[in-house]
């Protein structure tokens, strides 16, 4: 095969992917002076990767198979946009040999291996047969052609239980079952086959010895079209859930120097067996002593940044140089290992609801600044929508430090400073995970998360005084912000009131817990906050970007407090808290139900009357608007009825507790 035709210089690159990996590839391609073309589905018109590319082409409807998985459309988009090369990212078509071939046939450079190499390595069975020949250590198992029940059962018996039944075409942990005994084998095969057929259109199975206390170790390799092949050390990805990686680090804290050299040599041997070109990963499972080959991924991997951070390389740049037909820029002994890196995958999912994906609009997106030793690879921004069509990974947070402990600390700090609102995310779960003493001590195996699920997902304690103070600050801060008033008005400044001292009551609820009541007293002296019997001097000032300095009895504390409607999201030194503001103004709040008098819950000015005496009211019909602390608040009918009497006029300044209107309930 003439490789100079497959790998040659190009100026325009199409990225056949979405989300963070598309953004990641665009970043390097642009830095190398390439023109970038994004592709997108109808659901992704406003997506970040579309905004970041120089050009973007619509592929088709939202469903992946009509867009990102549609080979013809992707190749056609390259032609239409003048792209000469395609980077497939990971997932989607990245390991699809038919796609690699279609690119080659259309005269496009495919940034990756050739279709032949993918075919050789794409099936777990096929690659294991190849590795066996090359003398790479394998997990004992059966990876033959015959798929009849008797053959598989005999193989499992011979291997010895527990065994792992795996889809040969598998990926992403699907089509995989751990089987403890002979009796469980047949039903496990049936269900794994069903899953594999649906996911990969191929239900062939292989059987492996289930390695006890398994750890996942993998080696990054990259080859060029001149026969050079390098390994860039290993990663450990033992923290998994359902065979899917959650946290990844490099180097492995488990391997000795001798083991590291052995596993890297085995990986190079594996890749050389197919004269591999491009970036790839050789995956192994380890029992803590020996490592056994399980599969090769013929693409860039989600966790490639940890390797970049410990080797000081840019793997996407190397991929593109290899695709240009260049030689790899370094030799094996020029690749050195420096420090430790760890990555966490941020997903829109709810760990408390069995990791159910969460979709919706991202209302807040705040990640810490990328400083030395901290990298954030994101695919979403504030205002973006997480749709139900694709993988729910939002971003990766990656930390580097000279030591593993340092890297963990930095990662945890960065997770603590990450606020994403509007969708539920796994960020608190990730924090709990990386700070777990067993994770710090590397006393883990791939079952660690499953065994510790309860303690890892139950992360929110009861709110204390600081959190209640933070909640009050969030509400007052929001009221000041949304105020339409002249910014020079003294009303703007919290704590200053024209007359006397006022009291305002707040009530909060965490989940279905009891109501937590806080009284704020303010006027022309310093404000105080009372929680039950306790009283504190209280002050706060906005510190930008959702942050506040809250002072309770002279102790100043930095907090993050975001309010969305009645939902309060707080982050203090004690962790994260979600509270609901039981707002006396709010429509449909339990507080108002049954109350037939419309009362001023706070001192304010009547600014509008919205219903007339005698009017028929539905529950929630607006009656009048009060301006309180420069924020308009509409008082509504607590139930269906008739507006019997209005007891105020526009412009009235009313005191707390004053009756403003009377509603007569509709006859039952
Ligand atoms: P690794 O790359 O570490 O082996 P995975 O197998 O989980 O880890 O990574 C590939 C998988 O990531 C894909 O099969 C897909 O389900 C998921 N994925 C996450 N983000 C994306 C994305 N933007 N595009 C496509 N697939 C994605
Ligand atoms: P996928 O294509 O879904 O990534 P893999 O073969 O890489 O499938 O397996 C996924 C994960 O399952 C691995 O990362 C490893 O943790 C675990 N695993 C795979 N094979 C074995 C085995 N034989 N024994 C124990 N665990 C295994
Ligand atoms: Mg794998």
pLDDT of residue 27: 98
Of ligand 2's listed atoms, the one at least distance from the Cα of 297 is: 2
Domain membership of residue 631 as a residue range: 598-665
Is the Cβ atom of 173 under 6 angstroms away from ligand 2? yes
Nearest ligand to the C-alpha of residue 306? 1
Number of domains into which the chain is organized = 5
Average pLDDT over residues 405-427: 95
Last residue of a domain, one of 518, 551, 581: 581
Burial environment of residue 149 by CB neighbours within 10 A (0 to 12, 13 to 18, 19 or more): exposed
Closest-CA residue, ligand 1 atom 7, reads 172
CATH of the domain at 483: 3.30.700
Q: Are residues 309 and 420 in the same domain?
A: yes
Asked if residue 592 is part of any domain, the answer here is no
Nearest ligand to the C-alpha of residue 245? 1
Last residue of a domain, one of 457, 475, 510: 457
pLDDT, tens digit, 9 for 90 and up, residues 357-395: 898 999 999 999 988 899 999 999 999 999 989 999 999
On whether the CB atoms of residues 457 and 352 are closer than 8 A, the answer is yes
Last residue of a domain, one of 179, 209, 239: 209
Give the DSSP letter string of 596-625.
-EEE-SSSEEEEEE-S-TT-EE-TT-EEEE
Asked if residue 128 is part of any domain, the answer here is no
Is the Cβ atom of 127 under 6 angstroms away from ligand 2? no
Q: Are residues 293 and 386 in the same domain?
A: yes
CATH of the domain at 382: 3.30.470.20
Dist. CA 393 → ligand 1 center (Å): 8
Q: Are residues 474 and 451 in the same domain?
A: no
Question: What is the three-class DSSP state of 289?
Answer: coil
Asked if residue 25 is part of any domain, the answer here is yes
Asked if residue 133 is part of any domain, the answer here is no
Q: Are residues 290 and 412 in the same domain?
A: yes
Q: Are residues 226 and 254 in the same domain?
A: yes
Average pLDDT over residues 536-551: 89
| Structure-token match 């400044």, residue found | 493
Name all residues whose Cβ lies below 6 A of ligand 1.
17-19, 21, 89-92, 171-172, 244-245, 297, 301-303, 391, 393
pLDDT at 544 over 80: no
Asked if residue 46 is part of any domain, the answer here is yes
Q: Are residues 428 and 370 in the same domain?
A: yes
* Helix/strand/coil (H/E/C) assignment for every residue in 326-359: CCCCCCHHHCCCCCEEEEEEEECEEHHHCCEECC
pLDDT of residue 329: 97
Among 299, 321, 375, 636, the active-site one is 299
Separation CA 331–CA 228 (nearest Å):
9
Of ligand 1's listed atoms, the one at least distance from the Cα of 237 is: 3
Q: Are residues 357 and 486 in the same domain?
A: no
Whether 242 is a known active-site residue: answer no
Is the Cβ atom of 294 under 6 angstroms away from ligand 2? yes
Range of lowest pLDDT (22-31, 303-312, 563-572): 563-572
pLDDT of residue 2: 64
Dist. CA 283 → ligand 3 center (Å): 6
Nearest ligand to the C-alpha of residue 393? 1
pLDDT of residue 297: 96
pLDDT at 491 over 50: no
**Of 462 and 24, more confident:** 24
CATH of the domain at 649: 2.40.50.100
Question: Helix H segments across 32-172?
Answer: 48-52, 71-81, 97-105, 115-122, 124-134, 149-159
Confidence of residue 56 (pLDDT cuts 50, 70, 90): very high
Dist. CA 16 → ligand 1 center (Å): 14
pLDDT at 144 over 50: yes
Closest-CA residue, ligand 2 atom 11, reads 243
Q: Are residues 82 and 22 in the same domain?
A: yes
Asked if residue 614 is part of any domain, the answer here is yes
Q: Are residues 102 and 232 in the same domain?
A: no
Asked if residue 591 is part of any domain, the answer here is no
Task: Choose one of 200, 288, 294 to mutate for the ligand 2 pocket test, by most ligand atoms within 8 angstroms of C-beta.
Answer: 294
Closest-CA residue, ligand 2 atom 14, reads 216
pLDDT, tens digit, 9 for 90 and up, residues 146-168: 999 999 999 999 999 999 999 99
pLDDT of residue 508: 94
pLDDT at 225 over 60: yes
Of ligand 2's listed atoms, the one at least distance from the Cα of 294 is: 6
pLDDT at 487 over 60: no
pLDDT of residue 603: 76
Q: Are residues 327 and 406 in the same domain?
A: yes
Q: Are residues 610 and 624 in the same domain?
A: yes
Asked if residue 639 is part of any domain, the answer here is yes
pLDDT of residue 593: 37
pLDDT, tens digit, 9 for 90 and up, residues 625-648: 887 765 667 888 888 899 999 999
Is the Cβ atom of 296 under 6 angstroms away from ligand 2? no
Confidence of residue 583 (pLDDT cuts 50, 70, 90): confident
Q: Are residues 426 and 279 in the same domain?
A: yes
Rg of the chain taking only CA atoms, in angstroms: 30
Closest-CA residue, ligand 1 atom 26, reads 91
Dist. CA 432 → ligand 1 center (Å): 23
Task: Choose one of 167, 243, 282, 345 to mutate for the ligand 2 pocket test, by most ligand atoms within 8 angstroms of C-beta.
Answer: 243
pLDDT at 591 over 50: no
């Amino acid at each position: 095969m003439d490789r100079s035709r497959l790998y040659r210089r190009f100026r325009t690159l199409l990225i056949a992917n979405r989300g963070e990996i598309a953004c990641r590839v665009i970043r390097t391609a642009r830095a190398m002076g390439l023109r970038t073309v994004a592709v997108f589905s109808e659901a992704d018109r406003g997506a970040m990767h579309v905004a970041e590319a120089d050009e973007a082409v619509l592929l088709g409807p939202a469903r992946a198979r009509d867009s990102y998985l549609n080979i013809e459309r992707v190749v056609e988009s390259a032609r239409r946009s003048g792209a000469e090369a395609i980077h497939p990212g990971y997932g989607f078509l990245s390991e699809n040999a038919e796609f690699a071939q279609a690119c080659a046939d259309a005269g496009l450079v495919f940034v990756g291996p050739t279709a032949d190499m993918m075919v050789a390595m794409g099936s777990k069975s096929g690659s294991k047969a190849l590795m066996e020949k090359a003398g790479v250590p394998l997990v004992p198992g059966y990876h033959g052609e015959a798929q009849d029940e008797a053959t598989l059962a005999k193989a499992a018996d011979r291997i010895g239980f527990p065994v792992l039944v795996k889809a040969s075409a598998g990926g992403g942990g699907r089509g995989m079952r751990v089987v403890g005994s002979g009796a469980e084998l047949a039903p496990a095969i049936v269900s794994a086959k069903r899953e594999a057929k649906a996911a990969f259109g191929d239900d062939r199975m292989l059987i492996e010895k289930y390695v006890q206390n398994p750890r996942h170790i993998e080696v990054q390799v990259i080859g060029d079209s001149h026969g050079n092949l390098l390994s860039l050390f290993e990663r450990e990805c033992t923290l998994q859930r359902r065979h899917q990686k959650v946290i990844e680090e490099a180097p492995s804290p488990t391997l000795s120097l001798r083991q590291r050299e052995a596993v890297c040599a085995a990986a190079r041997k594996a890749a050389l067996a197919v004269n591999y070109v491009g970036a790839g990963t050789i995956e192994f499972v380890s029992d803590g002593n020996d490592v056994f080959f399980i599969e090769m991924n013929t693409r860039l991997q989600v966790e490639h940044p940890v390797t970049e951070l410990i080797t000081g390389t840019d793997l996407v740049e190397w991929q593109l140089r290899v695709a240009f037909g260049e030689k790899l820029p370094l030799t094996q002994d020029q690749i050195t290992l420096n420090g430790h890196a760890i990555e966490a995958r941020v997903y829109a999912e709810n760990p408390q609801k069995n990791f159910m994906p969460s979709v919706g609009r991202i209302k807040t997106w705040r990640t810490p600044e990328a400083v030395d030793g901290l990298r954030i690879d994101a695919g979403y921004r504030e205002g973006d929508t997480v749709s139900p069509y694709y993988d729910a990974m939002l971003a990766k947070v990656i930390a580097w430090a000279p030591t593993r402990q340092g890297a963990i600390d930095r990662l945890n700090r960065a997770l603590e400073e990450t606020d994403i609102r509007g969708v539920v995310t796994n960020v608190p779960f990730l924090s709990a995970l990386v700070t777990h003493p067993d994770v710090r001590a590397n006393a883990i195996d791939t079952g660690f998360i499953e065994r510790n699920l309860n303690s890892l997902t139950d992360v929110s304690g009861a709110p204390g005084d600081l959190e209640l103070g933070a909640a009050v600050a969030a509400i007052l801060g929001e009221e000041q912000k949304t105020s339409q008033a002249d910014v020079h008005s003294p009303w703007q400044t919290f704590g200053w009131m024209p007359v006397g001292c006022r009291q305002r009551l707040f009530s909060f609820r965490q989940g279905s817990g009891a109501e937590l009541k806080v009284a704020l007293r303010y006027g022309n002296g310093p404000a105080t906050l009372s929680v039950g019997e306790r009283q504190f001097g209280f002050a706060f000032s906005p510190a930008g970007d959702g942050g506040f300095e809250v002072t309770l009895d002279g102790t100043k504390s930095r907090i993050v407090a975001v309010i969305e409607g009645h939902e309060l999201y707080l982050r203090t030194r004690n962790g994260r808290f979600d509270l609901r503001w039981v707002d006396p103004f709010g429509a449909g709040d339990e507080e108002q139900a049954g109350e037939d008098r419309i009362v001023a819950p706070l001192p304010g000015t009547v600014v509008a009357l919205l219903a007339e005496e005698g009017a028929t009211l539905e529950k929630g019909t607006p009656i009048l608007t009060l301006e309180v602390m420069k924020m308009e608040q509409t008082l509504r009918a607590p139930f269906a009825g008739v507006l019997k009497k209005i007891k105020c006029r526009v412009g009235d300044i009313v005191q707390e507790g004053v009756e403003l209107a009377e509603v007569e309930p509709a006859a039952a």
